[in-house]
């Protein structure tokens, strides 16, 4: 990279030098300056072989018999010089203004026009290179795609991708099409052109695309959608063109565009000047997709987690005609992914991957890979030869909540407050039946949080949640604030609950406006307004599409729901104040309380979870 920059600057300096050198020393010697009288004498004495009159008629330059050139300003005496030249039969040339300016003049004009532009481009190039984000391109390569290319085989195969079996079956077909296109063409079928991988980040979309290239043994061109989006109109389109040109030369091959939604967002979202550029880029992409007829052997794989914001034109048959959905892995998927990444890591006997999989609902493949890697790092730090279950548990918590900040000193009062806050969450969690089970409470600060209460969601819920579940979620989230309120008084509670309160606001809002769980709308949802330009069509947080009166009634309803939940939560904590105090004391003493201890505490204080609370 460094060398490249040096190379670029040499080019720029050379160009500047080429422009400037003619200005500094003229290749033709400057004529000798004479006075008017001196010039007349020279001509009169027969010392001139030819003469040149400038366009404005004010200057005469003669070439003498000695091959020297002489020039003089003649001003109003021009007619007399003319006469004299005629008399001496000296051939006279009259210059046109352009000639008069000469090469130097033209260069000068070019320089004044282009040098500033040139410098601006050079500086932008330098700036972008310095920023590193733009991949360090010089202004000369703006239209180039700078895709990352793996020329022969990515070395990744389907066996490196765990779980995602349905996706593999679909992609198997793409591999066949790349390896043996005649299988398709002989029966008149069109070779797939575009495959859209849809799924949350870290679920292995890139990995799958690489595996397709690896299985088929073809080159792999990869680029992020954001790399097409530039501030200058036309650059993105040029990059798309360049990428496809290179790919066609290397066909059969795979083009992979990550985050394709940043190029393929719906057109006409009316966003100032970036819009033109965006449309041009998208149009170019569509053109290229249509352009490679069924047999060029270039297959485009796009990845996104926002298929809803994609322009409909992209999804039309013949473009991204296949969509493959990749979800977060289920327990078996997680166990398989863990097995893939456990290769090469010596695990202690107490490590059971299936159990780890059970403990990590909601983790993506990337998260799981990260867990095992962190665990190995922790083991290495301890200087032990095997990765223990303790290492893995610590790594899971790290991945979920960031590293523990053991070194941070917290005042006793602060500790007491955090302990009561977390104890409030945990106790309400214990009291709410049907809500996720409390796994662990801790007042060790991590990341941004002063303390944390872990809940394990029910794996079998399939994303379907009842109204009762959400009401309990609201109470559990309010538990921290309620405990602070109860123990430290109506002036003593802190801003520590702000994340909790945001979650509450979101759940309540969606209950009342989206999920038909409120009384104002009944079993109905508000139509979502199609706002949100950059975020695409947002869900749940868009402006409301209703009359101000209805909006006010909904606001009131949401407010009442939260108030009622807060009161209920405070009541529950008051009722179980002895358990709250005991749990807070345990936390202050031990910092972390796990599930078994929590259940023992529940027994001791006769806490019975009930649906009603």
Point out the residues that are catalytic.
422
Q: Is 451 in the site for Zn ion (CB under 5 A)?
A: no
Output the smallest distance, CB 140 to Zn ion, in A.
54
The residues, ordered by sequence, that sit 6+ positions from 569 with a Cβ below 8 Å of its Cβ are 424, 428, 475, 478, 479, 482
Q: Which helix (H) or strand (E) holds 178?
A: helix 165-179
Pattern of binders to ligand ADP over 483-512, x per CB under 6 A? ------------------------------
Pattern of binders to Zn ion over 495-524, x per CB under 5 A? -----x------------------------
Candidates 125, 136, 194, 204: give the one binding ligand ADP (CB under 6 A): 204
Output the smallest distance, CB 364 to ligand ADP, in A.
6
Candidates 324, 369, 486, 586: give the one binding ligand ADP (CB under 6 A): 369
Output the smallest distance, CB 215 to ligand ADP, in A.
15
Residue with tokens 């069509």: 537
Output the smallest distance, CB 430 to Zn ion, in A.
15
- Name which of 162 and 507 has its Cβ closer to ligand ADP: 162
Q: 283 is written with which tokens?
A: 């149009």
Q: What gap in Å lies between CA 204 and CA 165, rounded to an integer?
A: 12
Q: 95 is written with which tokens?
A: 């210059």
Q: 143 is written with which tokens?
A: 């239209």
- Which of 482, 406, 476, 473 is closest to 443 using CA atoms? 406
Count the residues in the chain: 613
- Name which of 136 and 204 has its Cβ closer to ligand ADP: 204
Q: Which residue has the closest beta carbon to ligand ADP? A: 365
Q: Which residue has the closest beta carbon to Zn ion? A: 480
Q: Is 303 in the site for ligand ADP (CB under 6 A)?
A: yes
From the list 162-170, 311-319, 450-458, 479-487, the region that binds ligand ADP by CB under 6 A is 162-170
Q: What gap in Å lies between CA 30 and CA 9, rounded to an integer?
A: 33
From the list 128-136, 156-164, 244-252, 420-428, the region that binds ligand ADP by CB under 6 A is 156-164
Pattern of binders to ligand ADP over 315-344, x per CB under 6 A? ----------------------x--x----
Residues 469-491: b if buried by 16+ CB within 10 A, e if exposed:
bbbbbbbbbbbbbbbbbbbbeee
Q: Is 329 in the site for Zn ion (CB under 5 A)?
A: no
From the list 87-95, 214-222, 226-234, 363-371, the region that binds ligand ADP by CB under 6 A is 363-371
Angle between the N-to-C axes of helices 595-604 and 577-590, in degrees from 0 to 180, rounded to the nearest 10: 150
Q: Is 201 in the site for ligand ADP (CB under 6 A)?
A: yes
Q: How far apart are the first and last CA of the chain?
A: 63
**404: exposed, middle or buried (Cβ count in 10 Å: 0-12, 13-18, 19+):** middle
Output the smallest distance, CB 205 to ligand ADP, in A.
3
From the list Zn ion, ligand ADP, none, pick the one residue 416 interacts with, judged by a Cβ distance below 5 to 8 Å according to partner type.
none
- Name which of 237 and 342 has its Cβ closer to ligand ADP: 342
Q: What gap in Å lies between CA 268 and CA 233, rounded to an integer?
A: 16
* Alpha helices, H only, 251-311: 261-264, 274-291
| Residue 398 · residue 577 · CB < 8 Å | no
The residues, ordered by sequence, that sit 6+ positions from 62 with a Cβ below 8 Å of its Cβ are 39, 42, 43, 47, 48, 49, 50, 51, 52, 69, 70, 71, 90
From the list Zn ion, ligand ADP, none, pick the one residue 480 interacts with, judged by a Cβ distance below 5 to 8 Å according to partner type.
Zn ion
Binding site for ligand ADP (CB under 6 A): 161-164, 199, 201-207, 303, 337, 340, 365-366, 369
Binding site for Zn ion (CB under 5 A): 480, 500
């Amino acid at each position: 990279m460094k060398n490249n920059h040096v190379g670029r600057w040499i080019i720029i300096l050379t160009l500047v030098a080429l422009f400037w050198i003619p200005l500094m020393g003229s290749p033709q010697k400057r004529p000798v300056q004479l006075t008017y009288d001196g010039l007349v004498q020279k001509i009169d004495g027969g010392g001139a072989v030819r003469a040149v009159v400038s366009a404005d008629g004010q200057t005469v330059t003669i070439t003498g018999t000695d091959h020297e050139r002489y020039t003089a300003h003649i001003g109003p005496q021009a007619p007399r010089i003319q006469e004299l030249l005629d008399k001496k039969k000296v051939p006279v040339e009259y210059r046109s203004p352009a000639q008069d300016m000469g090469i130097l003049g033209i260069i000068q004009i070019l320089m004044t026009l282009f040098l500033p532009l040139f410098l601006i481009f050079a500086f932008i190039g330098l700036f972008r290179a310095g920023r590193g984000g733009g991949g360090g391109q010089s202004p000369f390569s703006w239209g180039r795609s700078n895709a990352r290319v793996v020329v022969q085989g990515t070395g990744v195969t389907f066996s490196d991708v765990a779980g995602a079996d349905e996706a593999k079956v679909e992609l198997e077909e793409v591999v066949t099409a790349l390896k043996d296109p005649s299988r398709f063409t002989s029966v008149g079928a069109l070779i797939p052109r575009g495959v859209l991988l849809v799924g949350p980040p870290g679920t292995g979309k890139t990995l799958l695309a690489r595996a397709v290239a690896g299985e088929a043994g073809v080159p792999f061109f990869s680029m992020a959608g954001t790399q097409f989006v530039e501030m200058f109109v036309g650059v993105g389109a040029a990059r798309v063109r360049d990428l496809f040109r290179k790919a066609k030369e290397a066909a059969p091959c795979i083009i992979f565009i990550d985050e394709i939604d940043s190029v393929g967002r719906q057109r006409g979202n009316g966003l100032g000047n970036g819009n033109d550029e965006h449309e041009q880029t998208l149009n170019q992409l569509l053109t290229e997709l249509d352009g490679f007829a069924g047999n060029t052997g270039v297959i485009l794989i796009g990845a996104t987690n926002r298929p809803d914001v994609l322009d409909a034109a992209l999804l039309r048959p013949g473009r991204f005609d296949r969509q493959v959905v990749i979800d977060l892995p289920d327990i078996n998927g997680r166990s398989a992914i863990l097995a893939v990444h456990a290769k090469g890591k010596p695990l202690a006997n107490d490590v059971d991957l299936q159990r780890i999989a059970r403990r990590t609902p909601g983790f993506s493949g990337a998260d799981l890979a990260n867990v095992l890697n962190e665990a190995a790092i922790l083991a290495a730090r301890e200087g032990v030869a095997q990765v223990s279950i303790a290492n893995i548990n610590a790594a899971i918590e790290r991945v979920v909540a960031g590293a523990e900040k053991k070194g941070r000193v917290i005042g006793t009062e602060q500790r007491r407050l955090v302990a009561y806050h977390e104890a409030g969450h945990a106790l309400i969690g214990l009291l709410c039946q049907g809500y996720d089970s409390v796994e662990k409470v801790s007042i060790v600060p991590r990341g941004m949080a002063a303390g944390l209460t872990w809940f394990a969601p029910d794996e079998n819920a399939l994303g379907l949640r009842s109204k009762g579940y959400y009401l309990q979620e609201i109470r559990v989230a309010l538990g921290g604030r309620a405990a602070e309120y109860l123990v430290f008084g109506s002036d003593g509670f802190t801003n520590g609950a702000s994340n909790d309160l945001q979650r509450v606001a979101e759940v309540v809002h969606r209950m009342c406006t989206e999920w038909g769980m409120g009384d104002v709308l009944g079993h109905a949802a508000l139509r979502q307004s199609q706002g949100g330009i950059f975020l695409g069509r947002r869900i749940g947080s868009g402006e409301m599409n209703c009359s101000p009166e209805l909006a006010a009634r909904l606001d009131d309803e949401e407010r009442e729901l939260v108030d009622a939940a807060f009161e209920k939560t405070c009541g529950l904590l008051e009722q179980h104040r002895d358990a709250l105090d005991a749990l807070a004391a345990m936390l202050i003493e031990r910092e972390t309380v796990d599930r078994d201890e929590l259940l023992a505490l529940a027994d001791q204080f006769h806490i019975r979870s009930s649906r009603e609370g």
